[in-house]
A and B are shown apart, each in its own frame.
Chain A
Amino acid sequence: MADAERIASKQKQISISEFFEKNKHFLGFDTLQRAVITAVKEAVDNSLDACEESRILPDIRIEINRLSGDRLELIAQDNGPGIPRDAIENVFGRFLLGSRFHAIRQTRGQQGIGITGVLMYSQLTTGSKTRVTSKIASDSSAVHVDLGLDTRKNRATKSNERRDLWLDENGHEIEHGLMIRTVMRAKYQRGRQSVHQYLRMTSIVNPHATIHLTVRGLDGEIIDDGHWIRTTEKLPRVVEEIKPHPHGILLGQLQRMLKETDERNMTSFLRHGFSGVSLRAAKEILAAAELDEGRIPARVKAEDAQKMVEAFQRVKLLAPPTDCLSPIEEMLIKKGLSKAIDSRFASTATRKPTVSQGNPFQIEVGLVFGGDLQAEGPIEILRFTNRVPLMYQQGGCLLTKALESVDWKRYGLDHPGGRGLPKGPAAVLIHLASTNVQFTSEAKEAVADNEEVFEEVRRAMLEVGRGLRNHLKKSSQRKKAQEKFDLINIILPEISRKTSQLLGREEPDLAPVITRIMNAVFLEDEIGWDKHSNQAVCSLTIYNYTARARAYTILAKWPEGEGVAIAENPRGGRKETTGLWAWRLDTLDPGQSAEIRFTVSGLSKGDWTDAEIFFRGNGDIIGATKIDEKLLDEMRKMEALALAEAEYAAATMNESIQRLVERTPVLETSGESLVVSSDESVVEPSNESQRMINNPEDLRQWTPAEEVNE
């Protein structure tokens, strides 16, 4: 122990700035190009998190101005809650590792060391101070202050502080918000790894945010800009914090919990300190670890703790709850993608939350196709973990590997040799939401291999792939049908007119010719938007171009859901199952057509663009698919099952609320601290209100260990 102390005290003498300098690579400031991206990233992550917590729809403005000598001025402004005057120093001035680092829930800010790093970098490279302007709603004026860092004392130094009104460009008073202005040595670049791309990706997974970027050159000319306007007013839902699950616990963490807990005996420690542990499971664990149920947790020795860790893997446990995850949700993925990418078709898949090694995770995938997307070259991959874009190390990332493992040729994309990225006018978004994302390295840019995550991503890919295949099949069918319609409605009558004119003969009756040419039943579908009623309008027209009378039932898929309902539907019909409506049509004689028209309320424009139409009856319909009755039965069963599940969930929800009421707060994670040293047997709880790294060595070891431990 004496040795350790000596080493620790020696290490304390290393200045923070030296530490920063040494660890630039995983703090994201290793190159001039990357420094500005990291700075923007820290500012934007903070803004989004702050807005989310305060339930404010974020408006974020990023301004970058080139200065002489490889320097950039960065101005980042948001409309968030602002920071109270007294907290500014702490928020910006210290290497803080806030509560989010060991609360088990999904947050953006698992990466980097926060905004302090930006201040530090600015000061180290240009010697300048960072100007912060903050306004909170309850104050009458804003605080303007210049911040520097005293790296010896590890705190901020304030100067030029004043209170003043804060006005926007129109002269209106800004009610609340935060603005940071800093100067740093950095280079602005364009391309796949750029601020522009980072913000574009961020806007895709944050469809509720409006983000503006303006970049100016040395003469004040605009050299790059981007404007991403929010496509939804819906804020991401507030995520629940959960307790750790035994399957993901390592020895060091268990020891810390044992020391810190307020529980008096082992049974309640296990039941209340962890998720997924029932009373019976707690007893089984303790029996397996040969521990007394009544033992005081703080007195459990290292070797007993080790036995417990082993027992955790043997005893059957409930899965952890998954409401600690915040998926983007399919509709919003579509909206987010449409905000940044002009495409023709979007297919999304949200997998159910799953658990890997005690960590809940969830995969969401969106695929867009066509439109302005480049037909040449590999598709674009947009990787995200917990709504944070990953921009580097694409090839080494599990998300990429899972995408590449799919045989895309089967789904309509060019995939030479079935290896690498498929090619074509497509972009794929992959979002991994997890309480603990495991990365390949401290740089946190590539997700590490994990069989369960891989399999989930792959399944999600297959889902969107099927969507794409159907879309392509349908568009080629639709194109063919459209050609036939052009043929009989435009070209044929013109041929008839022209021949008759040239020869001076009477025009022939074209009806029999048309039947001969078409010899099929066609269905045309169209989904439009009615501005006045704010409803999606779906109209289906069926033409019988055969020589025989036909009778059909037409079924249409529609986006049934909460608040979404069929409004106008003059033809009536009936509900077949959830999201599937059916109309029985009268007999259609040769040459006749019939129309079905219905409107759907509760959607936004663009939510529903692709109709899926089925039919029941004899003889094919071009433009519709014969309904698979077996599949329909399956769908009905699933619906019944979902209903039962929902009822069950409602019942358990009541039960858990009941439990919550009965108990005092279980694990007050925020405000606690953790310091895990390298040999994992020593655990030092501390009571500081915010965790501060005094010893740079701690930070370095702790950061990578974080991925493994939690």
Chain B
Amino acid sequence: MSANGFSKEEVIEALHSIAGEMHDNMTKGQPPRMTLPVRTKKNIAFDERLGVYKYGKKMSTRDATSLGSARQLLRALHVTEFIEEMINAGKSSTLREMYYISEGWGHGKFGSQNESNNLAEDLEIVTRCMREDFKLRPEEDGARIIGNITFEERNRRGDWMRINCRDDVGDSGYGVPYNVEAEKLRLITHDVDFIMAIETGGMFDRLVENGFDESAHCALIHLKGQPARSTRRIIKRMNEEWNLPVLVFLDGDPWSFRIFASIAYGAIKTAHISEYLATPSAVYLGIRADDIESYDLPSDELSSRDIQALKAELSDPRFADSEWQEEINMMLDLGKKAEQQSLAKYGLDFVTDTYLPEKLAQIMGR
């Protein structure tokens, strides 16, 4: 049941080692502590071997000398206990359920769902396990896929069910489950040339309605904004196991750059498992900053938050290469951003008849 093949006993032992460190500290008269990598853009670096961005060597110590940190340690212990109980009882829970269960943990309860999500990630990082090992699953649903590809998914009864994402699904496509590892999902066959990942539901539906999957011979996947882990993981698997190119079609704004980085290079929050989630060969298709001018797209002024985000990206190691620096600076100079759907200015078919074919030709030509 694990991407990296830990047994139940190994998972519990890994979690216990965190409690063990704290206990050892206290026995020595030291404040209990937990050591983990710094989880900011300042501490991610390109891993040559894996071809993705991983956490660097900067470590931070969380020790019980401040109330906030002490609470975190106590929470980690409560979570450890909770996971152990679930493993022993053969149950699982969503991260949101864990957040609500923490109501009963007294001083160890979470202040927000964000805190509980972050702590689950902290434990993944320290133990090198994955949250599936902890019997924790996300609340967020994964992506939708439409195209001529065939999966086998194990259903609740434990039977394998064969699904073709063009013939066996309705207009909303195949819903990607939260677990897309081999024990749950098998990649069977496909008849497509590439995979196109799309940021917004509106654009996904437009491409489906225009039959773009058939005309361009591709599979369409709807990212639903910042893609969930399972979405990134299934893209990665299709890319690796079927050797399919991945093209990413997003809005033209600072946040799209970050979405692309999380697909191609690894997200900062999950840099500890970038090698499972990131698809380094993914290509950014658009909307690009210069599209706004060359296609004369309806656009909005960059807000002060947008500008701040772009400036932050300039110092993000994932955007360090000259091409990205140029792209970001171009958007800053232009002072504008545009949505995918602004292409509708030239009619409903413009995107499938003109824009995407032109973009594809550019990329193929490169």
User: Which positions in A face B, CB cutoff 8 Å?
Assistant: 483-484, 486-487, 490-492, 494-496, 498-503, 505, 508, 510, 512-513, 516-517
**Other-chain residue from A484, A490, A508 in contact with B26 (beta carbon distance below 8 A):** A508
- 29 residue pairs from A and B, CB less than 8 Å apart: A487-B66, A487-B70, A491-B64, A491-B71, A491-B107, A492-B32, A492-B64, A492-B70, A494-B74, A495-B26, A495-B32, A495-B73, A495-B74, A495-B77, A496-B32, A498-B77, A498-B81, A499-B20, A499-B23, A502-B19, A502-B80, A503-B20, A503-B23, A508-B23, A513-B29, A516-B30, A516-B31, A517-B31, A517-B65
Report B1-54 residues with CB < 8 Å from chain A CB.
16, 19-20, 22-23, 25-27, 29-32
Given A491-B64, A495-B64, A508-B27; A502-B16 close (CB under 8 Å): yes
Contact string against A for B residues 100-114, beta-carbon threshold 8 Å, 1 for contact and 0 otherwise: 000000111000000
Query: Known: A503-B16, A517-B65. Contact between A498 and B29, CB under 8 A?
Result: no
Instruction: Please name the residue on chain A nearest to B20 by beta carbon.
Output: A503
Q: Are B26 and A487 in contact (CB under 8 A)?
A: no
> What's the Cα separation between A496 and B70 when bound, in Å?
11
The residue in A487, A495, A496 that gathers the most chain B C-beta atoms within 10 A of its C-beta is A495
Tell me the interface secondary structure of chain B in the complex.
helix
Decide yes or no: A484 and B80 within 8 Å by CB, A491-B74, A498-B74, A513-B30 being known contacts.
Answer: no
Q: Does B78 contact A (CB under 8 A)?
A: yes
Q: Evaluate contact between A495 and B22: CB separation under 8 angstroms.
A: yes
Bound CA–CA A498/B78 (angstroms): 8
Which 3 pairs show the lowest CB-CB distances between chains A and B? A512-B29, A508-B26, A498-B77
- Given the complex of chains A and B, what is the CA–CA distance between A360 and B301 in angstroms? 62
Q: Which residues from chain B contact A513 at a C-beta distance below 8 Å?
A: 25-26, 29-32, 64
The smallest beta-carbon distance between A477 and chain B, in angstroms, is 15
Assess whether B67 is in contact with A494, with CB atoms less than 8 Å apart: no
Known: A499-B23, A499-B77. 9 other contacts (CB 8 A): A491-B71, A491-B107, A492-B70, A495-B26, A496-B26, A499-B20, A499-B32, A503-B19, A505-B23
Q: How far does the alpha carbon of A492 sit from the alpha carbon of B32 in the complex, in Å?
A: 9
Q: Which residue of B lies closest to A484 (CB)?
A: B67
Taken together as a complex, chains A and B put the C-alpha atoms of A510 and B106 apart, in Å, by 21
Residues of A within 8 A of B71 (CB): 491
Closest to B22 in A: A499
* Residue of A with least CB distance to B17: A503
Minimum distance in angstroms from B69 CB to a CB of chain A: 9
Q: Cα distance A496–B25 when bound, in Å?
A: 10
Question: CB within 8 Å of A: which of B237-295?
Answer: none
Min CB distance, A487 to chain B, in Å? 5
The distance in angstroms between the C-alpha atoms of A494 and B108, with both chains bound, is: 9
Q: Which residues of A contact B107 (CB under 8 A)?
A: 486, 490-491, 494
**When chains A and B are docked, how far (Å) is the Cα of A326 from the Cα of B224?**
71
Residues of B within 8 A of A510 (CB): 26
Measured CB to CB, the residues of B under 8 A from A are 16, 19-20, 22-23, 25-27, 29-32, 64-67, 70-71, 73-74, 77-78, 80-81, 84, 106-108
Q: Which residues of B contact A495 (CB under 8 A)?
A: 22, 26, 32, 64, 70, 73-74, 77
Report the Cα distance A490→B27, complex, angstroms: 18
Q: How far is the CB of B168 from chain A (nearest CB, A)?
A: 47
B residues near A496, Cβ cutoff 8 Å: 23, 26, 32
Are B67 and A483 in contact (CB-based, < 8 A)? yes
Closest chain B residue to A515, Cβ basis: B29
Q: How far is the CB of B111 from chain A (nearest CB, A)?
A: 14
Closest A residue to B80 using CB positions: A502
Taken together as a complex, chains A and B put the C-alpha atoms of A513 and B27 apart, in Å, by: 9
Residue of B nearest to A497 (CB): B77
- Whether B64 lies near A487 (C-beta < 8 A) is yes
Set of chain A residues within 8 Å of B26, measured between Cβ atoms: 495-496, 499, 508, 510, 513
A500 to B22 alpha-carbon distance, docked (Å): 10
Of A491, A508, A516, the residue contacting B67 (CB under 8 A) is A491
Distance A502 CA – B80 CA, assembled complex (angstroms) = 9
Cα A494 to Cα B74 with chains together (Å): 7
CA of A443 to CA of B250, assembled, Å: 65
Residues of A within 8 A of B67 (CB): 483-484, 486-487, 491
Q: A491-B71, A495-B32, A495-B73 are in contact. Are A500 and B66 (CB under 8 A)?
A: no
With a cutoff of 8 Å between Cβ atoms, the chain A residues found around residue B80 in the complex are 502
> B25 to chain A: which residues have CB within 8 Å?
513
Closest beta carbon of chain A to B25's beta carbon, Å: 8
CB contacts (< 8 Å) of B77 on chain A: these are: 495, 498-499, 502
How far does the alpha carbon of A281 sit from the alpha carbon of B80 in the complex, in Å?
90
A500 near B23 (CB under 8 angstroms)? yes
Neighbouring B residues of A517 by C-beta, 8 Å: 31, 64-65
Q: A496, A498, A501, A516: which has the most chain B beta carbons within 10 Å? A: A498
Chain B residues lying within 8 Å of A508, measured Cβ to Cβ, are 23, 26-27
> Roughly how many angstroms separate A490 CA and B71 CA in the complex, as a whole number?
10
- Chain B residues in 8 Å Cβ range of A487: 64, 66-67, 70
Q: Name the residue of chain B whose CB is nearest to the CB of A519.
A: B65
Q: Which residues in A have their C-beta under 8 angstroms from that of B20?
A: 499, 503
Complex: chain B residue closest to A492, CB-CB:
B64
Residues of B with C-beta under 8 A to A483: 66-67
On chain A, the residues within 8 Å of B32 by CB distance are 492, 495-496, 499, 513
* A502–B29 CB distance below 8 A: no
Query: Shortest CB–CB separation between residue A70 and chain B, in angstroms?
Result: 48
Give the nearest-CB partner of B12 in chain A: A502
Which residues from chain A contact B65 at a C-beta distance below 8 Å?
517
Minimum Cβ distance to chain A for residue B207 (Å): 46
Residues of B within 8 A of A503 (CB): 16, 19-20, 23
Task: List the A side residues contacting B19 at CB < 8 Å.
Answer: 498-499, 502-503
Q: Smallest distance from the beta carbon of A514 to chain B beta carbons, Å?
A: 9
- Could you say which residues of chain A place their CB within 8 Å of the CB of B73? 495
Query: Which residue of chain B has its CB nearest to the CB of A485?
Result: B67
Chain B residues near A516 (CB-CB < 8 A): 29-31
Min CB gap B63→A, angstroms:
9
Give Cα A491 to B66, complex, Å.
10
**A498 and B108 alpha carbons, distance in the complex (Å):** 11
Q: Which residue of B lies closest to A494 (CB)?
A: B74
A512-B27 Cα distance, complex, nearest whole Å: 9
Residues from chain B with Cβ under 8 Å of A512 in the complex: 29
Q: Chain B contacts of A492 at CB under 8 A?
A: 32, 64, 70
CB neighbours (8 Å) of B106 from chain A are: 494
Expressed in whole angstroms, the Cα–Cα distance for A92 and B152 within the complex equals 97
- CA A490 – CA B106 in complex, angstroms? 10
Complex: A503 Cα to B74 Cα, angstroms = 15
Determine the chain B residues whose CB is within 8 A of the CB of A505 once the complex forms.
23
